[in-house]
Structure 1
């Protein structure tokens, strides 16, 4: 920031980043995640300047998450609090005081941080969280993911992860995490801080080469970073284009795809006509949602399954399992349902809620505990006989992987059959999606609502 002209250009670029990720409509409050590092300190100053200029009625709340992983972290958080007080910015310190895992620390810390930030947003009626991710973070993320996957194909759907971070991410279906600085380099932000006479903390773990990101930071220093950033933008564009094609393909089939009681789908033959090239990716989304898996399956594995399905004869039945799902082709259709394996049994006390198998959010509003588990074959048969339900009315295998409600160890209800049998227990089931509901990348905003629409088609209100 050697000149006023240079600072004006910088602020124009930074404000453009805020404009791009700031949702329409009046916002009462914004959370800014501030660790004390250079990226987040610059974000804090820029957010204050931006809101003062464009959204004067919006409260700015700085939140520092102390992961309690280093002895000096508490002192650094206190330093951020003092700085915020000097600027007249509200500040909160939230601590991750849970037991720390032996492995996967970076991932666990990120999940904990996002969870605490969402809590802070909810407590302050804020719908936006701002983080200071930079162009350098994009490059490092790209390098990490490319080395992990060792992608050896030009198929765009296999390169989804190389899109790195989106400017927006939806957390827990209720708060937008926005990254307005993704096009700005870290050194530019540090120059800005120095021009503002603002110090920052350097986290020593950023130089610890036992961690993956510092190694990628060292690699990035020897790389044409602008070329990598251009590749990130191209991968993001391709990911969004492919997702748009998936959304269009599934929308064309909304009136043809039907829902199985129990949470599966029935796809008619020819469902992928018109865009067979993107059909494996569409199938990958469906498999992740139906199987309750937190990740999409590798698209190359789904593509191999698609080829098997295409070559399988229409006579008889062709079955394969993939990603917690059974995929069955018959003369009439293609069916997908959750396989009956590794399904949980859980006690749900009065007033408690839980996510079951990554597929259902279950709330017990009764005054007594209930057990949630899949029905045994004798239990299901007895339930069907007792309520005079014909086998032709249901898909038995799909129901055998759906949750049942037991009271005092006796089968009381099967919510998946609520359209046939009125349910009386105050136990509410709603669809949940392990792959979408916790963290949803902005790259996938267009396709996920269509997938959810397929799996929440009208069947009965209580089950949905």
Structure 2
């Protein structure tokens, strides 16, 4: 909910601190140098958990390198050496904003994994939440979309943030309350924040023109999030007794509902999600008849009358007959740097190769010539997070 205007700085700091990762957890801060991230860094200065302050230079407009230098000076004034990560866009410019977002999280995810930092903080606040919900309602994204931004989410951008949990500790604070401690610091002003070609800027103006609308959007978000949590609780009951192999094959002793399938199919398939429920519902009848069914999102399913098995679609190795869909599970060289393979595993080691293998209706893997190889099952990580509402 929006904070009252007269909330004192100590209370703001306490609310931010209460929403941080658990004590002893290292985290990084996404830092644009704008007013929100600058205020959050000021609140977090000298916090033992803050190990890196990360800035992404997208290079999308003239002067971005100068902004990065100024952001570095701001961070330095608060006692931190800024890490500047640079993206070099290439290819078609369509959907550039979404590509930039994925690249931003990809660069920060790579840094966090390389430096053993399991959490990333952003400075999203309640005004951002109201804007997000309004935009999603306008484009008809459904009640799940109307739930808006979540304060804590495991790797919400997949696989760019694999292994990293995203925290938004200022999400229940207003922009004004978050920025109250800025004092004489002068943040970067992004000119795109005034460009009405962007849906977010238009939503921000609409909220400014209708003062009660922001509170309506926040109350809608709260209600929809309660509904999502209740749905997850029902799915938890459905999946009691599930088994997951070290190669990511999932089984449960019952046929499960379309909402449960929609939640976990992308996880088993190594894709982002959740999958559209209407399409998933169409799979239930052929599943019940015993067919091997492509569920979608890289996942296939089979029901033998006693056990439902969900696996990574072997098309990931072979591709489709017409070659329109090429294989995604490809061999990789194993190096000391953490690598996400097939959206399902984190791999590292001194040397070696990892090869996908088709084992009936399942994609497994085999390590060749490996030394010191570690393969972490991200399917388990994502299942744990999904079934606890993270």
Q: TM-score scaled by structure 1?
A: 0.66
1:291 deviates by 2.2
Name the counterpart of 1:132.
123
Matched, 1:212 2:205: no
> Structure 1 stretch 221-230 or stretch 317-326: which is displaced more?
317-326
Q: Which residue, out of 264, 288, 294, partners 1:321?
A: 294
1:39 deviates by 1.4
Q: Which residue, out of 403, 411, 432, partners 2:378?
A: 432
Aligned length: 367
1:309 deviates by 5.7
1:362 deviates by 5.0
Q: Taking structure 1 as reference, are residues 262 and 112 closer, same or farther at Cα in structure 2, changes over 3 Å only?
A: closer
Name the counterpart of 2:320.
none
CA distance in structure 2 between the aligned counterparts of 1:263 and 1:60, rounded to whole angstroms: 32
CA distance in structure 2 between the aligned counterparts of 1:23 and 1:97, rounded to whole angstroms: 28
Matched, 1:36 2:27: no
- Superimposed CA distance per residue, residues 320-374 of structure 1 (whole angstroms, 9 cap, x where no aligned partner): 322133333344443333333243363433647754432344557656xx57344
Matched, 1:358 2:343: yes
CA distance in structure 2 between the aligned counterparts of 1:63 and 1:363, rounded to whole angstroms: 24
CA distance in structure 2 between the aligned counterparts of 1:301 and 1:39, rounded to whole angstroms: 39
* Structure 2 counterpart SS, 1:398: coil
CA distance in structure 1 between the aligned counterparts of 2:260 and 2:200, rounded to whole angstroms: 31
Gaps of at least 5 residues in structure 1 are 152-158, 273-278, 376-395, 408-423, 449-464
Q: Which residue, out of 202, 206, 216, partners 2:189?
A: 202
> Would you tell me which structure has more helix in proportion to its own residues?
1
1:114 deviates by 2.9
Matched, 1:167 2:151: yes
Name the counterpart of 2:208.
221
- Superimposed CA distance per residue, residues 302-334 of structure 1 (whole angstroms, 9 cap, x where no aligned partner): 23433x269x56xxx344322133333344443
Name the counterpart of 2:310.
336
- Superimposed CA distance per residue, residues 45-85 of structure 1 (whole angstroms, 9 cap, x where no aligned partner): 2333xx5xxx5x55675433222222222222322333344
CA distance in structure 1 between the aligned counterparts of 2:17 and 2:184, rounded to whole angstroms: 26
CA contact (8 A) 1:294 1:435 kept: no
Greater Rg by CA? 1
CA contact (8 A) 1:348 1:364 kept: no
Gaps of at least 5 residues in structure 2 are 156-160, 318-326
